[in-house]
């Protein structure tokens, strides 16, 4: 450790954890003797007390925590700890995670006849691990970076520059909520490493404060004096003022500069069945049951109700039986989807904070609060999966840098509105964009040749179905009616083509490029024109003959590329030129 | 790019009427009379790539075709039973490969072009399917040169210009080494003059 730099104004430049951070070895509290830095008002520990803390030179066998005992208040950024209440959560989590191993231990124990002690040892080990995890995890927020230290044997320090912090999510599962805790996940938008910067278990108040601290650095570069606004996090947050271990002065209760843009109305649950999210859940449940049954050599026919159902199905004609099974499946999926909707989106709320960040809170059991800085917002996507479209529903997704669209959990981070009435989705999109035009403007269709290509492509794809079945009939002895039934794919393809063309359109408004396409999932994307960072004009050999071109606007946000299918070549140049004036000017000719 | 509102992108008159049915109205949003009157056209980029790139593409394609050819020859030797079928397949492969190796490089050479201005990079590539890509210099993140064994053999370089979009890398294949070096220097200089994270 270098000698503490005295009057250095920047608290974090003073030796300390920066040096050992990349190597991953433990850092004894470096800045303890930094006399010049302002004393911390909250935690009353004077600096010189702490100076006596073990000053081991960084090594692999360094002490687990920065300082033994209660989190002290060294000047400047200090290492803060997770909430001690996590001591109650970690063991339970560890036990759950170690359940298979415990079961194995239990089994081994029962065979050798003394299961009791072994189980106890197993439980003790897991509880010990939980305690260890709490004791070895600490975090620090300095002026320009966030660091998290964890691990006992393999010490790890993860640091990210604060201006790379893009999202801060708070999650609280039921056990967390019971204890007034929440888990904070700091997203940098890059390939989010597993457990990259996740602090499992701060008190809810602390977490909200940390979030405000991380997201408001632009407004207040030094210490975010401005308080975390009263973000309504559906957890009964304990009074935080009494908690030690904060380098930030206790924030004054802020004037809530919050505007609620949308909140869930119970009636929206009617869109639940049309999301089909239950399909996945049911798949998992059935897969699990199937494995249980097959591994336990249990005959489901022995179960009374199941046997009764089986007998009933065998008695009725085949058609009726099939109809019954299909109906039952539909009802099950609808129920599961509705349940999923309620669990995921209950108490959904979208609000704007100080006209700078968007907050989404949601969840029935596990609550989730995500935050998105509006300066990262590049647009909004209105998506209508076919079933949802049929009942005039839609959902809203943010197009933002650092938030990839798609992929399960990530998608949750960018959701602006769960399936809701389309009119509501439009309104929310307009509110978020600050401009109603992109969502209401009439779109320009792409013309008859684009329509022709929709039909050719859809029908060519559809024709492979009867063709494939025909081959199977010819060579694999499939029944002759198979290819005939397969012919039904052709009208289906034609319908798809018609709908795909009907969806296809684009517009350029004052601030946005608006693109709509798709049938199975129809998406209307409004991409900010200043978020377009390049163009890609693509022509297949067929498109060249038809005088069409696919225009792709590339961006750093959302899907990274927004595609305008089959635009008239004669129009494409002026379209690109209008959307991003001057970029194309040197390359244009009349 | 600046999103200043130019006069011809003003708000359309029908903005107040949201079409709830979601059908497309044929009413044009923009008064882009310019587009219909005298179609604005995107010209080709100015510079061709090096002529040696023809050899490079031919070499690459030829080596690619060696794999299926080798498989077919081995199969033929291993199973002499149905000689005619094997020979027909082999013949077809040879003809297709010859066409590909003989036609594709010249076709590509006619298409592949590039141009840079202080504001933008513009490339054109492909043969059956063709692409034009434009990226503003202010949004460039990295400029990579890459010289594989074939490129070194022929004194060529490939350049990849990436932007913050995962969908937007621009590739210029088959530049002669000096041109590539000059281009990279030029791009890095102009890119450095543009601060910001280019998103």
What does A351-386 look like in DSSP terms, one character per residue?
A: EEETTTEEEEEE-SSSEEEEEEEGGGEEEEEEEEEH
**How many CA atoms, within 13 angstroms, populate the side-chain half-sphere of residue A116?**
0
Question: pLDDT band at A110, cuts 50/70/90?
Answer: low
Q: What is the pTM of this model?
A: 0.72
A209-213, A220-224, A530-534, B102-106 — which one is most confidently predicted on average? B102-106
Q: Average pLDDT of chain A?
A: 74
pLDDT (average), residues A444-458: 93
pLDDT at A507: 94
What is the β-pairing status of strands A532-539 and A548-555? antiparallel
Instruction: State whether residue B120 is helix, strand or coil.
Output: strand
Shortest alpha-carbon distance between residue A256 and chain B (Å): 31
pLDDT per residue as tens digits for the range B27-65? 334 444 444 446 788 999 999 999 999 999 999 999 999
To which H or E segment does residue A551 belong?
Answer: strand A548-555
Restricting to B residues 104-143, those with a Cβ less than 8 Å away from any Cβ of A are 115, 117, 119-120, 122, 128-136, 139
* Structure tokens, A123: 């439980």
- What is the ipTM for the molecules in this complex? 0.79
A170 DSSP β-pair partners? A184, A369
Residue A371 has pLDDT above 80, yes or no: yes
What is the β-pairing status of strands A512-517 and B140-146? unpaired
pLDDT (average), residues A492-512: 94
User: Does A308 or A514 have the greater pLDDT score?
Assistant: A514
> Do the Cβ atoms of A582 and B45 come within 8 Å?
no
Of A440, A570, A583, the CB nearest to B1: A583
User: Does B186 or A21 have the greater pLDDT score?
Assistant: B186
Helices (H), chain B: 33-37, 52-78, 83-111, 149-154, 177-192
Q: Best interface-test mutation with A: which of B17, B29, B45 has the largest number of A CBs within 10 A?
A: B29
> What share of chain A in percent tops pLDDT 70?
70
Q: Best interface-test mutation with B: which of A382, A447, A556, A570 has the largest number of B CBs within 10 A?
A: A556
pLDDT at B142: 85
Look at the block and give the residue holding tokens 């000719």.
Answer: A589
pLDDT at B123: 94
> Do the Cβ atoms of A589 and B165 come within 8 Å?
no
pLDDT (average), residues A92-113: 62
pLDDT (average), residues B157-168: 86
pLDDT at A243: 37
> Do the Cβ atoms of B133 and A533 come within 8 Å?
no
pLDDT per residue as tens digits for the range A234-274? 333 333 333 333 333 333 334 457 888 899 999 999 998 88
pLDDT per residue as tens digits for the range A31-46? 333 333 333 333 333 3
pLDDT (average), residues B143-157: 90
Which range (A120-134, A290-304, B144-158) has the least confidence?
A290-304
Residue A393 has pLDDT above 80, yes or no: yes
To which H or E segment does residue A331 belong?
Answer: helix A318-345
A552: which residues sit within 8 A by CB, 6+ positions away?
A535, A536, A537, A538, A561, A562, A563, A564, B167
Residue A581 has pLDDT above 50, yes or no: yes
Residue A108 has pLDDT above 60, yes or no: no
B21: which residues sit within 8 A by CB, 6+ positions away?
none
Q: Average pLDDT of chain B?
A: 79
pLDDT at A248: 35
pLDDT at A246: 34
DSSP B23: P
Instruction: State whether residue B48 is helix, strand or coil.
Output: strand
> Do the Cβ atoms of B167 and A536 come within 8 Å?
yes
User: Based on the number of CB atoms within 10 Å of its own CB, is A202 exposed (0-12), middle (13-18) or buried (19 or more)?
Assistant: buried
User: Does A507 or A6 have the greater pLDDT score?
Assistant: A507
A163-172, A329-338, A369-378 — which one is most confidently predicted on average? A329-338
pLDDT at A124: 79
> Do the Cβ atoms of B198 and A533 come within 8 Å?
yes
Residue B4 has pLDDT above 70, yes or no: no
> Do the Cβ atoms of B165 and A544 come within 8 Å?
no
**How many CA atoms, within 13 angstroms, populate the side-chain half-sphere of residue A535?**
28
């Amino acid at each position: 450790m270098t000698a503490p730099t005295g009057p250095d104004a920047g608290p974090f430049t003073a030796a300390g954890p920066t040096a050992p951070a990349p190597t991953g070895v433990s850092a004894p509290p470096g800045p303890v003797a930094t006399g010049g830095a302002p004393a911390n008002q909250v935690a009353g520990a004077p600096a010189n007390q702490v100076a006596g803390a073990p000053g081991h030179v960084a090594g692999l066998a360094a002490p687990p925590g920065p300082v033994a005992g209660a989190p002290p208040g060294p000047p400047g950024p200090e290492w803060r700890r997770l909430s001690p209440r996590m001591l109650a959560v970690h063991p339970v989590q560890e036990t759950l995670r170690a359940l298979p191993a415990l079961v194995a231990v239990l089994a081994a124990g029962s065979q050798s006849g003394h299961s009791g002690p072994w189980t106890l040892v197993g439980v003790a080990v897991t509880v010990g691990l939980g305690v260890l995890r709490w004791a070895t995890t600490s975090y620090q927020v300095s002026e320009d970076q966030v660091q998290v230290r964890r691990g006992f044997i393999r010490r790890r320090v993860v640091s990210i520059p604060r201006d790379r912090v893009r999202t801060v999510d708070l999650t609280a599962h039921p056990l967390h909520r019971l204890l007034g805790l929440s888990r904070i996940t700091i997203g940098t938008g890059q390939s989010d490493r597993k457990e990259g910067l996740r602090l499992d278990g701060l008190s809810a108040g602390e977490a909200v404060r940390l979030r405000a601290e991380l997201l408001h650095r632009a407004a207040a570069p030094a210490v975010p004096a401005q308080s975390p606004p009263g973000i309504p996090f559906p957890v009964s947050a304990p009074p935080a003022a009494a908690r030690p271990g904060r380098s930030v002065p206790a924030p004054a209760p802020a004037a809530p500069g919050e505007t609620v843009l949308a909140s869930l109305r119970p009636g929206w649950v009617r869109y639940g069945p049309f999301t089909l999210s239950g399909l996945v859940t049911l798949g998992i449940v059935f897969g699990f049951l199937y494995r249980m049954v097959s591994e336990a050599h249990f005959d489901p026919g022995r179960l009374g109700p199941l046997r009764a159902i089986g007998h009933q199905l065998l008695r009725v004609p085949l058609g009726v039986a099939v109809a019954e099974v299909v109906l039952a499946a539909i009802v099950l999926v609808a129920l599961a989807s509705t349940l999923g909707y309620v669990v995921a989106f209950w108490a959904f709320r979208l609000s704007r904070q100080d006209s700078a960040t968007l907050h989404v809170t949601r969840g029935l059991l596990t609550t989730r609060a995500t935050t998105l800085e509006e300066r990262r917002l590049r647009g909004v996507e209105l998506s209508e999966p076919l079933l949802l479209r049929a009942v005039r529903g839609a959902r809203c997704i943010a197009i933002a840098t650092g938030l990839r669209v798609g992929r399960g959990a990530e998608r949750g981070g960018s959701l602006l509105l769960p399936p809701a009435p389309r009119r509501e989705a439009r309104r929310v999109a307009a509110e978020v964009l600050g401009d109603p035009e992109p969502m209401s403007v009439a779109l320009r269709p792409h013309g008859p040749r684009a329509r022709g290509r929709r039909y050719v492509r859809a029908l060519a794809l559809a024709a492979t179905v009867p063709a494939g079945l025909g081959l199977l009939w010819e060579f694999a002895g499939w029944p002759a009616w198979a290819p005939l039934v397969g012919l039904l794919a052709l009208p289906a393809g034609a319908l798809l083509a018609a709908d795909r063309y009907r969806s296809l359109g684009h517009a350029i408004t004052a601030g946005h490029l608006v693109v709509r396409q798709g049938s199975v999932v129809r998406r209307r994307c409004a991409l900010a024109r200043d978020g377009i960072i390049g163009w890609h004009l693509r022509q297949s050999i067929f498109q060249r003959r038809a005088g069409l071109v696919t225009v792709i606007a590339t961006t750093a946000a959302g899907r990274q590329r927004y595609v305008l299918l089959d635009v008239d070549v004669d129009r494409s140049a002026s379209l690109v030129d209008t959307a991003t004036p001057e970029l194309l000017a040197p390359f244009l000719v009349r | 790019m600046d999103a200043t509102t130019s006069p011809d992108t003003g708000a359309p008159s029908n903005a107040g009427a949201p079409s709830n049915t979601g059908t497309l109205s044929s009413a044009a949003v923009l008064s882009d009379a310019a587009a219909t009157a005298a179609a604005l056209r995107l010209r080709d980029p100015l510079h061709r790539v090096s002529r040696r790139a023809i050899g490079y593409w031919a070499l690459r394609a030829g080596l690619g075709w060696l794999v299926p050819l080798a498989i077919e020859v081995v199969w033929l030797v291993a199973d002499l039973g149905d000689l005619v079928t094997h020979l027909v397949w082999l013949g077809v492969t040879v003809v297709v490969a010859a066409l590909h190796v003989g036609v594709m490089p010249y076709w590509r050479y006619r298409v592949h072009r590039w141009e840079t201005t202080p504001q933008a990079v513009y490339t054109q590539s492909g043969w059956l399917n063709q692409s034009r890509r434009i990226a503003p210099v202010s949004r460039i993140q990295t400029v990579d040169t890459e010289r594989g064994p074939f490129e070194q053999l022929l004194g060529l370089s490939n350049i990849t210009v990436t932007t913050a979009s995962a969908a937007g890398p621009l590739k210029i294949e088959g530049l002669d080494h000096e041109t590539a070096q000059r281009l990279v220097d030029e791009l890095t200089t102009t890119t450095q003059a543009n601060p910001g994270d280019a998103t």
